[in-house]
Amino acid sequence: MKGRSMKSRLRTVGVVAAAFAAGATLGPVVAPPIVSAIAQETSGRAETYRLLNLFGDIFERVKAEYVEPVNDREVIEAAINGMLQGLDPHSSYMNTRSFRDMQVQTRGEFGGLGIEVSQEGGYVKVISPIDDTPAARAGVKPGDLITHINGNSVQGLTLQEAVDQMRGERGSSIKITIRRPGAEAPIELSLTREVIRPQVARFRLEGNDVGYVRLSSFNEQTDTALRNAIATMRRQSNNQLKGIILDLRNNPGGLLDQAVQVSDDFLNQGEIVSTRARRPEDAQRWNAKPGDITGDLHVVVLINGGSASASEIVAGALQDHRRAVVMGVKSFGKGSVQTVMPIPGNGAIRLTTARYYTPSGRSIQALGITPDVEVLATREEANAPLRDREAELRRALRNDNDTHEVPPLPPLNLPPGLVDQVQRMPPEGAPAFDATKPETDFQLQQAAKFLRAWVAAEPQRRAAR
């Protein structure tokens, strides 16, 4: 639904304010409001031209005086990228090759190490490693800062330049140096590049009665993969599934339309997500269509600090509608939408064009999704500060929940005492997490235990299905 808000009134307020300021400056000379507005616009345009001339002057000075000859395209592209990255952490310029790589990646197959990254303090910051990739197998973790690539510092490189260096021919090797919070010394890792074909949905039965689905990203294959996973587990369990655990931990996000479709898979009606842009008439809203692919099974969604963007849209939609219980720790907090705008013959720009809002109208930008039931992955997390989140990124977009009323979420309406059965952290001496051994995944085990107890406490609902 297109929003048609009070654009004309907002423009009028701006004109009146400009006219008042002009009148105050000019003293006794009072210009009509429209004349003042035109004068201000003309003055603003003249200032823009002066600044563009400044850019041209500096460009010519660099070409003429820099210690070594420069490549015009590289200098201009670096300037464009600097302009965009100066806005927020997620806007950037992609040259022709980078744009082509991005298109391949959204189709679900690309080359490299298998990490989603951003930039912080001049370093490359890992948002999340992708399952079953060289980075994940080498032990790269969310929050790691890549400081060197093949012994060379990444300081001074744009994010795209650093990413380009990490890409390469399949089978070629690369060394990266990582600075990890809490580690006393830098970590040196040697990896072999691969063609990355991430399995976007991994699934299995937990104890023959609980379906477990892990979504590693949101690309063009995600919704189809989720539907296949649910259908397969139904057959494997002889239609005896008690519930679904949807694991979005360390899922860095991806395509907005896939987040909408995945949310719709669990909802029969109501809003999924809305976006608000600079112009009120560009606001959009997506609603669910009838049809729940689980048949109204209970759902638990697992999130952590690596759950970002599209993951937070899904978690937020299911949480606001009380369709699922969200468990884990607070998510990353990326509540903005980037639009990829092709520049014919010159790649594309990725520009932040809107904030998104959960069905209750809340923005999670720089805040994240707070789980309904907190469960820590390790005991060490209990005393660890909330780092490696959107709010910590330089020039992160502000949260605007204070500009509109956000109603409280409806109560969970769970059976009495159910949440009290969940352990907040692993017991002393619990085995360290091993991705190949689900029994060491404390958050997952607590989710499965909670889900079974939830179903057992509501026999009437189960019988109704």
List the catalytic residues: 309, 320, 334
**Which residues does residue 145 pair with via DSSP β-bridges, in sequence order?**
125, 179
Please name every residue paired with 196 in a beta bridge, in sequence order, or none if there are none.
110
Q: What token pair was written down for 415?
A: 């059976």
302 with 444: CB under 8 angstroms? yes
19 bridge partner residues: none
Q: CA triplet 115, 117, 120: central angle to 5 degrees?
A: 150
Q: How far apart are CA 178 and CA 243, in angstroms?
A: 39
Give the span between the Cα atoms of 221 and 214, in whole angstroms.
Answer: 14
3-state DSSP call for residue 124? strand
- What is the rounded CA–CA span in Å between residue 178 and residue 188? 6
Q: Show the beta-strand stretches assigned E in 172-322.
A: 173-179, 187-192, 194-196, 201-206, 210-215, 243-247, 271-277, 284-287, 298-303
The answer to whether the CB of 90 falls within 8 A of the CB of 394 is no
The secondary structure element, H or E, covering residue 289 is none
Distances (CA, A) of 137 to 170, 251, 436, 440: 16, 16, 11, 17
Nearest to residue 194, comparing CAs of 149, 138, 145, 153?
138
